[in-house]
Amino acid sequence: MNSMGTNNRIGLVAGWGRFPIQVAKALKASGYRVYCCGVYGHADPKLEEICDEFAWFGMAKMGAQVRFLRRHNVQSATMAGKIFKTLLFQKFHLLKHFPDWECLKHFYPVYFSKKKDRRDDTLLSIVTDLYASNGIQFSPATDYAPELLVKNGLLTKKSPSQAQLLDIKFAWQIAKEMGRLDVGQSVAVKGRAVLAVEAVEGTDDCIRRAGQLCPAGGFTVVKVSKPQQDMRFDVPTIGVGTIQTMKDAGGSILAIEADRTIVLDQSELVAYANQVGVTVLAMDPPDADVLTGAA
């Protein structure tokens, strides 16, 4: 990350998972004072111990988040962690999250005038624009923790078969197209037949659905970034839990995009994947050259 200059304060909007914890630790190690907005029902309470200042906020209390950060003279921020989009489709979902005026004003085209859709890029762009209009600029979390982006190569001991490589190449093209349409990042296939495509449910449920539809197991999952990926948000991410889901569902191989995918706790993930026999490799584009130099 570039020099922090005279202002070593940074905001962190934290959703679900270990990613916000690792980003917070990386920021602290780099000398930043971290002011964290933890999203209710998502963020890990451990962040309270890591960050200099921490406060809980409802998902739609964006004006309150802005005021918290501005009160601490924060001009730069980043976001990390998953927000469960399925919550947006519950009955009276907007009212449940008690939106404040700042949220209502910016999300009016989505929820009231219906001039905008609810795709991930649309919603997250509104969030970053909301902060920018209040003098807070967002940067990619991977700028502060670049080591989390996976490098090209075979991560596990077991290599994919030629049939699996064909499945990867087949699924990669479909996943990229689904990303271009901002539908999802993951596709599960077997024998170059599509089993499941990720949408609002997320990667783990996509994998589980593939397992239900292919009880024989042995399927391949490809997870990639969108062609138009904004690295400030919604960056493809996997962790040990992803491998656990693959094992439970009967998946055999997980292919991810090198330099565009966050791998959390990589050494633990690789050890567990080797233990349960799930192949993990990072590629871009799909190429047999990645089969050299297994971890």
Residue 288 has pLDDT above 60, yes or no: no
**Which neighbouring-strand residues pair with 223?**
186, 256
Residues 265 and 168 in one domain: yes
Q: What is the β-pairing status of strands 237-238 and 251-257?
A: unpaired
Closest to 34 measured CA to CA, from 4, 2, 64, 3: 4
Tokens of 139: 């940067």
Residue 5 has pLDDT above 80, yes or no: no
Decide if 235 is inside a domain: yes
Residue 1 lies in a domain: no
CATH number at residue 177: 3.40.140.80
- Is there a domain that residue 295 lies in? no
Question: Are 44 and 109 in contact, with CB atoms under 8 Å apart?
Answer: no
Is-contact 165 288, C-beta < 8 A? Answer: yes
Per-residue pLDDT tens digits for 84-127 = 766 665 565 555 557 778 878 877 676 666 777 877 778 888 88
Q: Tell me whether residue 78 is in a domain.
A: yes
| Structure tokens, 71 | 């009160």
pLDDT value of residue 293: 43
Backbone phi, psi, residue 200, to 5°: -70, -20
- 166/161 Cα distance (integer angstroms): 9
Look up tokens 């093209």; give the residue: 173
| 16 and 128 together in one domain | yes
Same domain, 178 and 70: no
How confident is the model at residue 114, as a pLDDT? 74
Chain-centre distance for alpha carbon 138: 16
> What phi and psi, each to the nearest 5 degrees, are found at residue 254?
-120, 115
Place of tokens 């599960």: 188
pTM: 0.84
Same domain, 260 and 158: yes
294 domain residue, yes or no: no
Q: End of a domain among 143, 163, 192?
A: 143
> Could you give the angle at the alpha carbon of 115 between the alpha carbons of 112 and 121, nearest 5°?
100
Query: Is the residue at 139 inside a domain?
Result: yes
What pLDDT does residue 1 have? 44
Same domain for 132 and 165, yes or no, is no
Domain end, chosen from 88, 109, 143, is at: 143
Kindly give, in sequence order, each residue whose CB lies less than 8 Å from that of residue 136, ignoring residues fewer than 6 positions away: 11, 66, 69, 70, 74, 75, 76, 77
pLDDT of 3 higher than 80: no
Does the residue 4 lie in any domain?
Answer: no
Residue 138 has pLDDT above 70, yes or no: yes
Mean local confidence (pLDDT), 27-35: 96
Q: Are residues 166 and 275 in the same domain?
A: yes
Instruction: Tell me, yes or no, whether 178 and 156 share the same domain.
Output: yes
**Does residue 141 surpass a pLDDT of 70?**
yes
Picking from 25, 141, 123, the residue whose alpha carbon sits closest to that of residue 79 is: 141
Mean pLDDT of 56-68: 92
pLDDT, tens digit, 9 for 90 and up, residues 191-215 = 999 999 999 889 999 999 999 999 9
Region of poorest pLDDT, from 14-23, 72-81, 85-94: 85-94
Phi, psi of 107 (to 5 degrees): -95, 5
Q: Note whether 47 and 170 are same-domain residues.
A: no
Quote the number of domains for the chain.
Answer: 2
Q: Which of 143, 169, 185 marks a domain boundary?
A: 143
Assess whether 154 and 117 both reside in one domain. no
Q: Mean pLDDT over all residues of the chain?
A: 89
**Stretch 135-159: mean pLDDT:** 95
pLDDT band at 238 (very low <50, low <70, confident <90, very high): very high
pLDDT, position 295: 46
Q: How far apart are CA 283 and CA 18, in angstroms?
A: 24
Q: DSSP assignment, residue 196? A: E
The DSSP annotation for 213-259 comes to H-TT--EEEEE---TT--TTS---EE-HHHHHHHHHHTEEEEEEETT
How crowded is residue 71: how many other Cβ atoms within 10 Å of its Cβ? 10
Question: Are 193 and 161 in a shared domain?
Answer: yes
Q: How large a percentage of the chain has pLDDT more than 90?
A: 74
Q: Are residues 26 and 66 in the same domain?
A: yes
Q: Is there a contact between 265 and 239 (Cβ–Cβ < 8 Å)?
A: yes
**Which one, of 67, 73, 79, lies nearest residue 9 by Cα?**
73
Range of the domain at 60: 9-143
C-beta separation of 272 from 241 below 8 A: no
**Mean pLDDT to the nearest integer, 138-152:** 94
Query: What's the CA gap between 122 and 130, in Å, rounded?
Result: 12
Nearest-angstrom CA–CA distance, 18 and 231: 18
Which CATH number goes with the domain that contains 68?
3.40.50.20
Residue range 289-295: average pLDDT? 50
Do 164 and 244 have their domain in common?
Answer: yes
CB-CB neighbours of 89 under 10 Å: 9
